[in-house]
Amino acid sequence: MRLSKIATNMERTQIAEYVDLLNHPIRLLWRNLLAGLAKGIGLAIGFTFFAATILYLLQALGALNLPIIGDYIADIVRIVQIQLEGKMY
């Protein structure tokens, strides 16, 4: 009974697949490479979306012509647009 429960728990944790992966380091490296690549691409896409949203909000705030904040926001948006065009600041 107890041995059966231990065997069931080991199957549930997939220890055999993990040990098999450790015995084949090339497959382990390949999986880690693909996982790192996927994380990097996801991070780049997420940051691009976040930065675009922030720039859009800053442009909307700049259009409101707020007395003090509007000038700073306009400067930030202008600097970012110049950098995106590849020109020197």
Q: What is the pTM of this model?
A: 0.54
Q: CA-to-CA distance for 40 and 34, rounded, in angstroms?
A: 10
Q: CA-to-CA distance for 22 and 50, rounded, in angstroms?
A: 38
13-17, 27-31, 78-82: segment of lowest average pLDDT: 13-17
Q: What is the pLDDT of residues 34-80, one digit of tens each?
A: 999 999 999 999 999 999 998 888 788 777 777 777 777 778 888 88
pLDDT-derived band at 2 (thresholds 50, 70, 90) equals confident
Q: How far is CA 76 from the centre of its chain?
A: 24
Q: Strands (DSSP E) along the chain, which ranges?
A: none
